């Protein structure tokens, strides 16, 4: 009987981590639905970007209040994980405060966790107030209605509960240490939870143990549950921010990729020796002509799909977007959310059909992202600049415009006029190329 | 007709068996748009003053294809790019200077992948180089005490991190260069990019250029300087919406410099 808690704990751990691994596999499979893209270049610069942007949070603090609060929660999350390690080992081995022989170092660690936990509580409350009381513009845009809003708040509630459980556990433990209960050897320093002691006074030893054990179990089960909540939430950024900043843009923001499939065709057209009536070469017939641009998530590359899962819906992109600021429908955040939601839909379709995608009559274009949104973009890169985790919504917009123009000839009429002017006169306006030098004598 | 500009085409250089120092890529706006032509002329006056041996392509020049690319027409872009590259490589062009940040961006970043490798400079970078080398001197203080604010073109600033050259040039005129609330990396777009110049905006509650000129007017500047023919048009239109065209002028950095030298 004495090993029952250990066994239960091991089971919880296996189930919790097992589900998480299953979700990670699904995530990886969905991301790999994207086209291949070569991101093997500039390794040193990429590591530097990851260290600076994800680990160092440099782009978060561009907005100081949200940035500093976020750094607190982030540091709290990372450092308190040391405590989680102790909890897991205690749970498996049936020990109590396994690391306590570290003595004063241990006291220092526990004290730091407590202070961080308090700071996290403060930050989480500030975040909640910003979302729900002050109602900062970017948190109440149309795409934030429903699940995204609930999701944002749920994350805050879970974090708050976890921190309170941690402090309650420590307070009960501290009280048990004071009354000299068995197993509860004197260890740790409790600068924050000591203020909870008045609540513990008068409780019998067995009640205290019940409180301590309940908080301990709920804390670790809560963490395992939260780990599994990530996949269903915008909160995946705590993991994906790292690969995303690594694979993020290295080139100047103004540089759009040149489509290789187009280059091949243009070269053929411009080659004076090419025979336009020649039968296609043997190997050419085998491959299907490549689709230009993107109308669905599978037409995007895998970094763009990783971008979509990384987005935590902070809305900094949207709040910097000139189109959005002037009341247009375009919201770069919505482009990312739509891409992720459609990708999830495709993934579920595959799950239901033995891993094969069965066409569902839907696509990213029109069913999620409207043409009006796509044509409102000025390609100014403000969204790309604003993203704290190197997401590039603009590249998706351009890829979808390419589909509209090259596959569907569905550009707005004025743009079609502009493009035929370029084709005919080499300028976007209907002027004669012979008049190009008139400015010299005007 | 104003004073005669000294402008030679690449064909003329070829006929003489010579190479120019730079190729000045005028761009479609700079060639045809009445407002932008003034920028072109102002820049050429400065080049003439500095005795720069430059060439233009003249009637051989064609659209870079940039705007087609932003609109999604990669096909048209690459057709234009490859035609231009054939011409430029045929003339063995090494250095290109342009007043248009969109041409600047595509030459610098997108042409190399298609076989066009050149050193590309925005005209503000080149003018700064001429001043630094002592080839162009800035005298006079006609602009002393004037407030000028610089609107960063997206494809010069955010897209290619060129922030200092235009500002340094403006301060050479002894004017007070003041910044808008959003500038450099976080500057607001004028609203013309991404082919918006050629279409009506989507439905909204304000035009982007009106919002951006509001930023500029808040600085109390008498002159809004830009470094892009499209920004110039958008800001000029924005000023009209705010009914400030009598007190505020929109000028290209090259025009400010040319004016300050009485050119």
Picking from B103, B131, B159, the residue at the C-terminal end of a domain is B131
Q: How many CA atoms lie within 13 A of A153 on its CB side?
A: 14
Q: Using the 8-state DSSP alphabet, how is residue A301 labeled?
A: B
- Please check whether residues B162 and B247 belong to one and the same domain: yes
Tell me whether residue B94 is in a domain.
yes
For A421-438, write each residue's pLDDT tens digit: 999 999 999 999 999 999
- Strand-pairing partners, residue A191, are none
Average pLDDT over residues A342-351: 97
| CA-based torsion, A266, A272, A277, A283: positive or negative | negative
Tell me whether residue B116 is in a domain.
yes
Tell me whether residue B44 is in a domain.
yes
| Contact list, A326 vs chain B (CB under 8 Å) | 201, 204-208, 211
Is A321 in CB contact (< 8 Å) with chain B?
Answer: no
Tell me whether residue B3 is in a domain.
no
Whether the predicted pLDDT of A197 surpasses 60: yes
Rounded to the nearest 10 degrees, the angle between the axes of helix A205-229 and helix A147-178 is: 150
Rounded to the nearest 10 degrees, the angle between the axes of helix B164-172 and helix B253-260 is: 20
Can you give the pLDDT at residue A183? 85
Q: CB–CB of A381/A394 below 8 Å?
A: yes
Q: What is the rounded CA–CA span in Å between residue B165 and residue A128?
A: 44
- Please check whether residues B24 and B116 belong to one and the same domain: yes
- Please check whether residues B120 and B151 belong to one and the same domain: no
| Contact list, A58 vs chain B (CB under 8 Å) | none
- Please check whether residues B106 and B153 belong to one and the same domain: no
Domain ranges of chain A: 4-31+63-247, 260-433
Contacts for A250 with CB less than 8 Å, ≥ 6 apart: A41, A42, A45, A46, A49
Q: CB–CB of A170/A193 below 8 Å?
A: yes
Test B159 with A329 for CB contact under 8 angstroms: no
Q: CB–CB of B35/B229 below 8 Å?
A: yes
Closest Cα in chain B to A406: B73
Q: What is the rounded CA–CA span in Å between residue B73 and residue A421?
A: 13
Q: What is the rounded CA–CA span in Å between residue A107 and residue A84?
A: 16
Can you give the pLDDT at residue B1? 45
- Please check whether residues B252 and B201 belong to one and the same domain: yes
- Please check whether residues B153 and B203 belong to one and the same domain: yes
Topology adopted by domain A260-433 = Fumarate Reductase Iron-sulfur Protein; Chain B, domain 2 (1.10.1060)
User: What's the ipTM?
Assistant: 0.96
Selected residue of B26, B74, B105 to mutate for chain A interface (largest A Cβ count, 10 A): B74
Picking from B80, B98, B131, the residue at the C-terminal end of a domain is B131
Give this prediction's pTM.
Answer: 0.95
Q: What residue numbers bound the domain in which B146 lies? A: 140-260
Whether the predicted pLDDT of A17 surpasses 90: yes
Q: What is the rounded CA–CA span in Å between residue A310 and residue A183?
A: 44
Q: Pick the more confident residue, A271 or B44.
A: B44
For A169-181, write each residue's pLDDT tens digit: 999 999 999 998 8
Q: What is the rounded CA–CA span in Å between residue A383 and residue A397?
A: 12
> Read out DSSP for A323-386?
HHHTT-S--HHHHHHHHHHHHHHHHHHHHHTTT-PPP-S--SBTTTB-HHHHHT-----HHHHH
Tokens of A312: 């935590």
Q: What is the rounded CA–CA span in Å between residue A57 and residue A168?
A: 31
- Please check whether residues B126 and B164 belong to one and the same domain: no
Whether the predicted pLDDT of A102 surpasses 80: yes
Q: What is the rounded CA–CA span in Å between residue A430 and residue A427?
A: 7
For A306-323, write each residue's pLDDT tens digit: 999 999 999 999 999 999
Q: What is the rounded CA–CA span in Å between residue A210 and residue A172?
A: 9
**Backbone phi and psi for residue B6, each to the nearest 5 degrees, phi listed first:** -95, 105
> What CATH number has the domain bearing residue B171?
3.40.50
Nearest alpha carbon to residue B69 among B109, B96, B40, B97 = B109
Interface of A with B in 95-154 (CB under 8 A): none
Q: CB–CB of A173/A205 below 8 Å?
A: no
Picking from B131, B151, B175, the residue at the C-terminal end of a domain is B131
Tell me whether residue B2 is in a domain.
no
Q: What is the rounded CA–CA span in Å between residue B171 and residue B138?
A: 11
The total domain count for chain B is: 2
Place of tokens 């247009």: A328
- Please check whether residues B109 and B158 belong to one and the same domain: no
Q: CB–CB of A60/A67 below 8 Å?
A: yes
Tell me whether residue B220 is in a domain.
yes
Test A266 with B79 for CB contact under 8 angstroms: yes
Whether the predicted pLDDT of B70 surpasses 60: yes
Whether the predicted pLDDT of A285 surpasses 80: no
Nearest alpha carbon to residue B167 among B233, B249, B239, B257 = B257
Q: What percent of chain A has pLDDT over 90?
A: 86
Is B231 in CB contact (< 8 Å) with chain A?
Answer: no
């Amino acid at each position: 009987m004495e090993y029952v808690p250990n066994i239960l704990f091991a089971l919880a751990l296996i189930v919790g981590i097992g589900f998480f691994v299953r979700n990670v596999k699904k995530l990886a499979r969905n991301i790999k639905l994207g086209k291949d893209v070569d991101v093997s270049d500039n390794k040193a610069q990429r590591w530097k970007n990851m260290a600076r942007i994800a680990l160092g949070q440099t782009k978060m603090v561009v907005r100081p209040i949200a940035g500093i609060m976020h750094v607190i929660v982030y540091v709290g999350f990372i450092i308190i994980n040391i405590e989680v390690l102790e909890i897991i080992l205690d749970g498996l081995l049936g020990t109590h405060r396994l690391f306590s022989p570290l003595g004063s170092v241990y006291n220092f660690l526990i004290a730091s966790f407590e202070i961080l936990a308090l700071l996290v509580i403060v930050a989480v409350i500030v975040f909640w107030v910003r979302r729900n009381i002050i109602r900062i513009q970017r948190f109440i845009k149309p795409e934030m209605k429903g699940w995204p809003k609930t999701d944002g708040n749920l994350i805050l509630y879970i974090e708050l509960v976890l921190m309170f459980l941690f402090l309650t556990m420590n307070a009960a433990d501290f009280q048990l240490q004071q009354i000299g209960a068995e197993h509860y050897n004197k260890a740790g320093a409790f600068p924050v939870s000591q203020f909870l002691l008045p609540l513990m006074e008068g409780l019998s030893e067995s009640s205290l143990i019940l409180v301590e054990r309940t908080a301990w179990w709920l804390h670790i089960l809560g963490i395992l549950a939260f780990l599994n909540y990530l996949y269903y939430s915008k909160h995946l950024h705590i993991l994906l921010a790292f690969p995303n900043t690594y694979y993020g843009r290295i080139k100047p923001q103004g540089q759009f990729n040149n489509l290789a499939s187009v280059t091949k065709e243009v070269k053929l057209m411009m080659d004076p020796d090419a025979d336009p009536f020649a039968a296609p070469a043997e190997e050419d017939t085998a491959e299907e002509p490549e689709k230009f641009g993107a109308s669905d998530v599978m037409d995007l590359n895998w970094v763009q799909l990783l971008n979509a899962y990384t987005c935590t819906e902070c809305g900094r992109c949207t709040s910097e977007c000139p189109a959005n600021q002037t009341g247009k429908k375009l919201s770069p955040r919505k482009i990312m959310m739509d891409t992720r939601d459609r990708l999830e839909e495709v993934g579920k379709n595959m799950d239901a059909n033995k891993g094969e995608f069965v066409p569902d009559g839907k696509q990213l274009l029109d069913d999620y992202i409207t043409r009006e949104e796509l044509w409102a973009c000025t390609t100014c890169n403000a969204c790309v600049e604003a993203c704290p985790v190197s997401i590039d919504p603009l590249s998706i917009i351009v890829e979808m415009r390419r589909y509209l123009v090259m596959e569907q000839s569905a550009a707005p009429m004025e743009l079609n006029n502009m493009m035929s002017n370029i084709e005919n006169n080499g300028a976007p306006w209907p002027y004669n190329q012979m008049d190009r030098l008139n400015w010299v004598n005007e | 007709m104003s004073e005669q500009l000294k402008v030679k085409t690449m064909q003329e250089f070829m006929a003489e068996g010579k190479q120019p120092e730079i190729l000045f890529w005028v761009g479609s706006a700079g060639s045809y748009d009445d407002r932008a032509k003034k920028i072109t002329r102002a820049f050429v006056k400065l080049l003439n003053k500095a005795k720069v041996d430059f060439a233009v392509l003249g009637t051989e020049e064609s659209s870079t294809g940039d705007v087609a690319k932003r609109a999604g027409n990669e096909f048209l872009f690459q057709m234009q790019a490859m035609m231009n590259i054939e011409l430029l490589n045929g003339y063995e062009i090494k250095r290109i200077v342009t007043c248009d940040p969109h041409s600047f961006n595509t030459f610098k970043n997108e042409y190399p992948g298609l076989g066009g490798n050149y050193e590309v400079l925005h005209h503000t970078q080149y003018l700064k180089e001429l001043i630094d080398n002592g080839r162009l001197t800035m005298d006079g203080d006609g602009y002393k005490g004037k407030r000028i604010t610089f609107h960063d073109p997206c494809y010069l600033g955010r897209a290619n991190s060129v922030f200092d050259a235009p500002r340094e040039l403006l301060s050479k005129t002894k004017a007070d260069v003041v910044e808008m609330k959003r500038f450099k990396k976080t500057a607001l777009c004028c609203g013309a990019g991404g082919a918006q110049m050629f279409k009506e905006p989507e439905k909204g509650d304000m035009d982007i250029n009106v919002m951006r000129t509001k930023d500029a007017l808040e600085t109390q500047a008498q002159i809004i300087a830009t470094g892009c023919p499209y920004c110039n048009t958008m800001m000029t239109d924005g000023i009209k919406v705010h009914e400030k065209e009598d007190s505020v002028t929109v000028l290209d950095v090259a025009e400010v410099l040319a004016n300050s030298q009485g050119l």
